[in-house]
Each structure stands twice: as C-alpha cells, then as structure tokens.
Amino acid sequence: MAEEPKISIGQYSDAGPKDRNDDSYGVLIPDQPLLETKGIAMAIADGMSTSIAAKEASESCIRSFLEDYYCTHESWAVKKAAGSVLGAINQWLYRQGQVQYTSDRGMVSTFSGAVLKSGTLHLFHAGDSRISLLRNGDVEPLTTDHQIHISRSESYLARAFGIEPQLDVDYRSLSVVDDDILIFTTDGVHEHVNAQTIRTEIDNHGDDLDKAARSICKAALANGSADNVTCQIVRVDSVGIDDRDSYLKRLTTLPFPPDLSPDMVFEGYRIERELHASKRSQVYLAYDPQTSSRVAIKTPSVNFEDDPAYIDMFTREEWVGRRINNPNVVRLIEPKSKRNFLYYLTEFVDGQTLRDWIDANPEPPLVEIRAILDQIASGLRAFHRRDMIHQDLKPDNIIIDLNGTVKIVDFGSTHVAGLEEIASPVHRPDLIGTIDYTAPEYHLGYKPSKLSDIYSLGAIAYEMHTGKLPYGAGFAKKNDLEKLQYRPATDHRPNLPYWISGALGKAVAKDPRQRYDVLSEFLADLTRANPEFEPTEFRPILESDPANFWPWIAIGLVIVNLVLLSLLAG
C-alpha cells in the first residue's frame, strides 16, 4: 500500500440574511485501494437563487459528484472519470428542470470541484463559486468566475449546471505540495472579503480550520454580503507520494517463486509442464485438484528480482487483467488461497498463437482473416473502454483456441491512464512494445492513444493478408520514419481487392491523424468497397509490381521475336 495522502478540513456555511441556504459542500476520503487509484474528492456548489429548486440542485451536484466519481473505472484518468460524471449531472438537472419544474431555471447550480491524486490537483468548474490556493502567504484564485456584468451592481451567470443540456466545464491540473491550503468559497464570501482577510483568518486560527472558515464567512457578512456564505478549507498535510525505498519495499512484499518443474506442487497446483519461457517470465501449465481443471501460472524471471520497474510492470499486468471481462481477452483466475510468492493465474488456452497460424497459412481466405480480426478488435475495445492502451499487440500475444476463439494475452506493457497519474519514483520505459508492430509516433514522444493500437492491429492485418510487414521492418529508431516507405498490400498479393489494400494502408499510416479513429470503420472497410480507396490514376508496372516487371518484359520480347521470325519466314 502506498503512503496515504493526508488532509485537514474546515467547513462553515450560513444562510446569511436569506430565508434559506442554497449552498452545498463536501469532501470524501475513500478507503484503499480507491484512495490511491481515485484520490480525494472535494467540492462546493451554490444553487442559483432564482432557481425553483436551488437547494436540491446544489445538493445533487455535491452528492452525485462525491459518490458517482468513485463508481467509475479505476483505470480511467481523473479528467475522463469526473468529466463523465459531471456531464451526467448536468443533463439530469436540465431534464428535471424541464420536466418536473417546466422551467429553464428549475434546477440550476454552480459547481467547483477538485480531486487530489498523487500530488496533482484536478479542478472542474462552472459558475461563480471559487477555489483558491494559499501557498507561501499568497492567495491565488484557481478558477475563473463565469459571470457577465451588466453594470457595477448587476450581473448574471454565464455558465452553470442545469441551464443547457450540454455544458462546457473548465478543467485544469496543477501540482500541490505539503502545507498547501485550498479555499472553496461561494460568491457570497469572495465578493466581500479579500485575499488578505482570508490569509489572516487562516493564520490566526492555526489548526482549527473550522473556526477559520467561520471567521471568513462572518467577515463577509459584516462587509455587507446579502447572500448565503460558505467556506470550505482543505489543508494538504501530506500529498502521499512514496520515496524510492518505500516504493520498492511495497513492490517486493511477495518474493519471486523458485524454479518450477513437472510434478512439483506449487501453492496447491501441480505443475505439468512449461508452456513458454523468455528472459522476462515463465508460463507453466498446472492442474488444480480442487476444480479438476487446468490453469496457466505466470511467474517473473529471477533476472529482475531487484528491478522495481520490472516488478511494477508485472504486478500491473495482473491489475489490468482483473479489470477486463471479455471473451477475447484471456481470463485471470483468483488464487484459491493467500499467495506466498509473486505470480498470477489465468485460464489455460489450448491452441496456437496467431504467429503459428500466419506461418501455416501463407495466403488464407479473406473470410478467415476477417473472422480473426473481428475477435481481436473485440478484445481491444475492452481495453479502450477502460482507458487502457495495450501497446504490445502482436501475433505472439494472440492465441486461437481449438474452437476458433481468439484471445489477447500479455498485459505487461499496457498503458493505464488512471495508473499513470499515480506518481512513481521508478522510471518506466517509454517504448515497451515489439518494434515490428509498434506505432511510429512512439519515437516522436507522443502520448499513446487508441490510434497506436489501431496501427498495431493494422500491421497484424497487413501481415495476415500478405505475409509481410507494411514498411518491410519496424521503426527501431526515429531515422526510420523517413527511411522506411510503405508498400501497398497489392504489391505482395496482386489479387487482393483494392479496397482491402486501401484500408490496410490507412490503418498503418505514419501520421496517426490519417488513421482510422475507430476500429469498426477499419473492419467495415475490409468487408466492402470504400470509394475513398478506388484507384484514380495509372500506376506503372515497374512501380506497382517491380518483382514481376522484368520477367514480363522478357516474355514480351520473346513473343515479339517469334512474330518477327514468322513474318520473315513467310
């Protein structure tokens, strides 16, 4: 377990001179593992006074954000997770306002929320509530008030939850450090107290943040605030980031297993044989006497026993597998008892790798290729829906079982947006896929995306159709981006329909912006003729079929000579 972030909280809210208090606020600190993977959520909301159900609107914003954010996938990045929740909140408020209150102002509220995760503060904001940062004696607003001023005394909200079915929510992120103080206020407070007052009240009350929040609100009322007043103070006592020693200690809680051999009983499983071995890991076939079934056991290589980056990737592979449930992705199995060593279990897939299939089928029927690609894409979508990029899709990591079911295996290189936001003292390698199938943008320093996986699937599809790689080799270094040139699939398989060749070319375009955006479009273009790929100009035989150009020239010359001889003889 990582070092936990620690915060102190102070809160105060008052209706002021109004009959009701339409402000809402809250902080939620979850238990592990969500505390590490999702962080701490905090927010403030101010129901618009002219809204029929202002209090219900602000309460719904706070309650739904604090609860629903933690129901999103752990693998999702904070921005995606919170953004999806806030979009749903806005649409619900808007529909309620239209249906229940039959008014554009039925349920409207401002919202300013934040998620503190691994030393980074993620901010989400719409309206004129505010989040400020007190650091080194300076108070700095972190959000921008969405107000339109008609005169010095009159203004209205330019943006808020519940006004329109679609809402543009401001987002930004910044690093925070120990002792940073976040101040959440509604407009009834910050329009009537300045930064000096906020800083002084917090300094004067020391660790009693509740009293500091109360004093700030009372100061606003004393200065003439005629609105509800709410102040929530969150002090970051510790951002909760491991140092290298504690991080390595956490990773090495379980020792590496010993070498396994047939008939050995390991953790209750009887080893039958070794299925695969490389310098990085071993996979064994084992028998489980409790279920009378076979399982696969993957163990780390002792060559990396003191390598924290390797151990991190190995443990991540299991983490990823447990969060994906798809028939085209190998299924992980929960160990029947507490583990004493570092390893994980998967279902045993009896079959052949796609590499073996390609080698055994040099010119396979197009319908068989499409059937396999459809299943690979199904498994790949399961990763992408979880905000994950596989990053090492290749024929060796795809297995076809005896029933023809295709399964993706090996998740050690998977990029997980949510986990990448967790600070780590160890360096993870940037390029961890297999060169022949890795998208060229990795050499340009771009962040991985689903387009990178689409390139890998395109390269695999190209090889299934032609037996070759689209650029003749992989992009081993940046210089290869200019040196290696794409060859149309029809150069290797002339009888291939032009639209399939065109689809393959688009899938493996060097520039990711020229590739398919979604897998379904790629698969569709492999099935039916897309006019986009229809040949528009003549290609010389020397360019389109260089391997057969000179043999055809030789045949032509022989025919010409025979004709001339027959004419001379006549």
Looking up tokens 């505390």 gives 35
Strands laid side by side in the 138-141 sheet: 6-14, 229-238, 181-185, 130-135, 138-141
Q: Which amino acid is at 45?
A: A
Give the C-alpha distances (Å, rounded to integers) separating 381 from 132, 325, 375, 385, 441: 40, 11, 10, 6, 21
Asked if residue 535 has a cis previous peptide bond (ω within 30° of 0), the answer is: no
Length of the chain: 570
The whole-angstrom separation of Cα 202 and Cα 322 is: 45
The token pair that represents 284 in the structure block:
């064994």
**Exposed/middle/buried for 366, CB within 10 Å: 0-12, 13-18, 19+?**
middle
> What's the first-to-final CA gap in the chain, in angstroms?
96
Percent helix, strand and coil across the chain, each rounded to 5? 40, 20, 40
> What does residue 301 show for φ and ψ, rounded to 5 degrees?
-80, 135
Which one is catalytic: 392, 410, 453, 491?
A: 392
Report residue 445: phi and psi, to 5°. 80, 10
Whether 392 is a known active-site residue: answer yes
β-strand partners of 230: 13
Instruction: Tell me the C-alpha to C-alpha distance, in Å, between residue 320 and each of 27, 90, 239, 437, 491.
Output: 29, 31, 25, 21, 39
User: What residues have CB less than 8 Å from 290, skipping those under 6 apart?
Assistant: 268, 336
Residue showing tokens 């979850």? 30
Q: Residue 70 and residue 29: Cα distance in Å, rounded?
A: 10
Cα 255 from Cα 341, distance rounded (Å): 5
CA distance 229 to 271: 67
Nearest to 301 by CA among 319, 272, 278: 278
**Rounded CA separation 347/244 (Å):** 34
**What is the rounded CA–CA span in Å between residue 431 and residue 444?**
11
Active site residues: 392
